Amino acid sequence: MNDILKAIKSRRSVRSFSDKQITDNELQAVLEAAQYAPTAGSQPWQFIAIQKEELINELSNASKEVAKNHEVEFIRKMANNKDFHAFYNAPTVILVCGDESLWTPADCAAATQNILLAAESLGLAACWINFGLFVFSSESGSTYNELLGIPEGYSPLYSVALGYRKGAVPAAAPRKKNVVTCIK
């Protein structure tokens, strides 16, 4: 099996991270991979890498406050759990921000997938997490946009918790059957 297919099949969402920070070279490699994602042509993204523990914790807590009144019960339960951390205490969080172009959500999702696959190829642990973005839809969202240097006209669409795995590699969930139709 080639390296790309191996990375796709072995990548897992990890929610338990060691305290050790990733290296600058690893962070740059992951961010560069994100920038090579396919787009509809405009590369509508900005990537904000956060490695300041206090700020990651602040984003987690602020998002939990917003989510305490969410309409979905399991989100409310997570938000009200004092031990829950929106980014699972990862030492690095990458926000994938996009402009208001038509194809931006798809383009930024492709960039996020590239981050996940690059992380796997480098032996890093990663998880695509959006819980920590609730704060950006609140009244204090613009304050955080400014604090993080998110350009005008861009908003956080996705986030990735990134670090080194703590514990065993999670098992893959069974794959659904009968999801492919081939028309020849």
Q: Locate 182 and state its tokens.
A: 């081939």
pLDDT for residue 173: 86
Please give the DSSP secondary-structure letter assigned to residue 115: H
Q: Which amino acid is at 72?
A: V
pTM over 0.85: yes
CA neighbours within 13 Å on the CB side: how many for 111?
Answer: 29
CA neighbours within 13 Å on the CB side: how many for 120?
Answer: 21
pLDDT for residue 167: 86
Q: Locate 112 and state its tokens.
A: 């996020």
pLDDT for residue 164: 97
Question: CA 40, CA 102: separation in Å to the nearest integer?
Answer: 9
pLDDT for residue 179: 94
Question: CA 144, CA 25: separation in Å to the nearest integer?
Answer: 27
pLDDT for residue 39: 94
Q: Are 4 and 116 in contact (CB under 8 A)?
A: no
Question: What CATH number matches the domain at 12-163, 2.40.50.100, 3.40.109.10, 3.30.870.10, 3.40.50.1370?
Answer: 3.40.109.10
Sequential pLDDT tens for the chain (184 residues):
798 898 888 888 989 999 999 999 999 999 999 999 999 989 999 999 999 999 999 999 999 999 999 999 999 999 999 999 999 999 999 999 999 999 999 999 999 999 999 999 999 999 999 999 999 999 999 999 999 999 999 999 999 999 999 988 878 888 899 999 999 9
pLDDT for residue 171: 82
